[in-house]
Structure 1
Amino acid sequence: MGIVVDPGVPPEDARLIRESGKILARMRRGWIPDPPRPADPARSKGTVATVIAVAVVLVALGIMSRGIGLLLLAFIGAPVLLVTFLRNDLADEDEDEETLLEREIYEQLRWYEGRYVVADDLDESSRRLLARAQQAIATVNGSAVNAEGLLDDVRNAVMLPAQEWEIARLLAKLSALRTRHRETVTGAAAPEVAAVAEPLARALDSSEEAVVARVEALERYAANVTEAERAFRAHQQIEELRGRLPQYEELVAETGADRLAVPEIARLAQDADRLEQALRRSLSSAHEAFRHLEPGERPDGPRQ
């Protein structure tokens, strides 16, 4: 179950939400955890009775023989009382540990309701769009140019999760409204209903197109990053080869093949320079594509 969490949620809470897919699925089916269980009066009475009984025996023995009473208190009474209390505490802890954990997760999920989106709750079209956005983001985050800091990795770390959340949030609203719209107008033949439903359906389509524009902007950014990645890897390989040029030149000179090979080797340096320029252009294009994802910049697409 894929879950997208608002980047504003604290990291530990966000991690808990992402790892709680099974409990979320149960909640979707109407599950509610059991309420806190009150203390067991019978167990408490049993503990008190045990304490009183031990105390009475020790007092009686103390009256008969003060020394024996003190020894029994130290070696028998104290351990009995300690075991009695620990047994009750551990029984309560073992019995309620899983329930307490589930209740804590349930309360967290309820507290952050509206600040996470479950992919399974989206309709099919929205799930496809979200998957496209996530794939584009994964391409950028997994690239070597991002890892090497050739992109603005700090802004990527902030902007990309924000874009993913905004897309997921809008798709969740779109899916819910589109589903209710279809349920309402299904089978309706009255002209009055059609007259009202048709412009509303167009509004839903227009909203989806606006989200598609956001996703496509992410994909353009990812495509530019992919091109920069190709140029970066080729640049690394060329630089590695250029670093071994003296060895090639030495071998060529020793074998007497310099008249044929030297021009080819010389072109290697030129290729490296051209590739470095291509890398710079690719990175510039990636930065330009990223600019369209920043706040205040809107990708080309339908306006609402």
Structure 2
Amino acid sequence: MSPHNRSPRLVVDPALPGPISSVLRSAPETLRAVRMGDIPSARGPDPAKVFSTAAFLVLILALTGFAGMLTILVVILLFTGTRRLTADPEARRERRRMRTAIDHANRFVLPEDLDTGCGTLLRRAQDAADTVLTSRVNRAGLLDTIDNAVTLPDQIWQLATKLARLSAMRAEHRRIVPGVPPPEVAEAFAPYSTALETAARSLTRRVRALEDYAAQVRRADEVYHSYRQLEQLSERAPQYEELVAETAGDDLAVPHLRELTAQAQRIRDLFTESMEGARRAAGHLMGAQGPGR
């Protein structure tokens, strides 16, 4: 399915500690509630219960004295604590998730934070990053120009936050200027529209740089697979040479062996070239990212 038809995934700041990141990722509905401001207010003490409890304690004080009232107060506190400990564990977890989401509301980007164009760009970037991170050459540690496991999540986070800001500013621009301004004042509005378009082009270039890197990695991955197959065959070259010598004579065995060697060298050169292309693309990607956070 084309990234144009798929929503981007939730993005969480990779700089967050693992436990906090896990809580945020496990509760997308809670994150949406926080983003929409749908946060349940903390319930204060019930005035009626407070009054009745106070009146009861005063009555106990009058009937039994201070020691009796203190005993009853301890019983009430123990009963209240026990109720809290035995409360619904899922409700407690949800309160913790809500508190975590509120405390880190600026450390995640939801698909709903992006307009259609920005959402498409983020999905393209996520797909490109997935291609790199799941590639054979990356898992084999051959893409040593940058640390993809660290750099790519940070790239996605930077893109996501900038795309979210662009989406918000475009929505604000449409609210302020809902239609086409009159021709005589259109020029005064042009710089604002141009700024939004310039930002969109810049972010698009960054996504394309990431896609170029992913394309080079994909090509290197394909060659690497053939390269590994060739290595296995090269280990058996003496057996092939022996077979040809036994069946066709030494005069044909030597040229055939030279052809095997030449083909092996061509594949190695192709693999080296593809890896260099991936490294150059990585360099362009880092150059295209511009200023940091």
TM-score range, shorter chain: 0.7 to 0.9
* Whole-angstrom CA distance in 1 between matches of 2:289 and 2:225: 30
SS in 2 for 1:95: coil
What's 2:278 paired with?
286
Query: Is the counterpart of residue 21 in structure 1 residue 11 in structure 2?
Result: no
Kept in 1: contact 2:131–2:218 (CA 8 A): yes
Kept in 2: contact 1:221–1:289 (CA 8 A): yes
Which residues in structure 2 correspond to 1:203-214 (within 5 Å)? 203-214=195-206
Aligned letter for 2:14?
P
How far off its partner does 1:89 sit? 5.2
What are the superposed Cα offsets for residues 153-204 of structure 1, whole Å, 9 maximum, x if unpaired?
Answer: 7622222111111111110000000011112212354456633332211110
What's 1:246 paired with?
238
What's 1:4 paired with?
11
Kept in 2: contact 1:33–1:103 (CA 8 A): no
Q: Single out whichever of 283-292 and 249-258 deviates more from structure 2.
A: 249-258
Aligned letter for 2:116?
E
How far off its partner does 1:130 sit? 0.5
* Whole-angstrom CA distance in 2 between matches of 1:209 and 1:258: 64
Specify which of 281, 288, 293 is matched with residue 298 of structure 1: 288
What's 1:32 paired with?
39
Kept in 2: contact 1:231–1:279 (CA 8 A): yes
Kept in 2: contact 1:146–1:153 (CA 8 A): no
What's 1:73 paired with?
none
Kept in 2: contact 1:7–1:161 (CA 8 A): yes
What's 1:164 paired with?
156
What's 2:111 paired with?
119
Kept in 2: contact 1:33–1:99 (CA 8 A): no
Identity %: 38
Which residues in structure 2 correspond to 1:69-80 (within 5 Å)? none
* Whole-angstrom CA distance in 2 between matches of 1:15 and 1:272: 47
Using the size of structure 1 for normalisation, the TM-score is 0.75
Q: Are the structure 2 counterparts of residues 236 and 38 from structure 1 closer, same or farther at C-alpha, using a change threshold of 3 Å? A: same
Which residues in structure 2 correspond to 1:259-274 (within 5 Å)? 263-274=255-266
What's 1:58 paired with?
none
Could you tell me which runs of 5 or more consecutive residues in structure 1 were left unpaired when the two chains were aligned: 50-83
* Whole-angstrom CA distance in 2 between matches of 1:156 and 1:90: 49
Using the size of structure 2 for normalisation, the TM-score is 0.77
Kept in 1: contact 2:12–2:157 (CA 8 A): yes
Q: Are the structure 2 counterparts of residues 123 and 193 from structure 1 closer, same or farther at C-alpha, using a change threshold of 3 Å? A: farther
What's 1:150 paired with?
142
SS in 1 for 2:109: strand
What's 1:61 paired with?
none
Q: Single out whichever of 29-38 and 220-229 deviates more from structure 2.
A: 29-38
What's 1:233 paired with?
225
Aligned letter for 2:193?
A
* Whole-angstrom CA distance in 2 between matches of 1:251 and 1:182: 76
How far off its partner does 1:131 sit? 0.8
Specify which of 258, 268, 273 is matched with residue 276 of structure 1: 268
Kept in 1: contact 2:9–2:123 (CA 8 A): no
How far off its partner does 1:147 sit? 0.8
Aligned letter for 1:18?
R
Larger Rg: 1
Kept in 2: contact 1:147–1:153 (CA 8 A): no
Which residues in structure 2 correspond to 1:95-114 (within 5 Å)? 95-114=87-106
- Give RMSD over aligned pairs: 3.3
SS in 1 for 2:142: coil
* Whole-angstrom CA distance in 1 between matches of 2:118 and 2:185: 26
* Whole-angstrom CA distance in 2 between matches of 1:87 and 1:153: 62
Aligned letter for 1:219?
E
Q: Single out whichever of 22-31 and 155-164 deviates more from structure 2.
A: 22-31
What's 2:64 paired with?
none
What's 1:197 paired with?
189
What's 2:165 paired with?
173
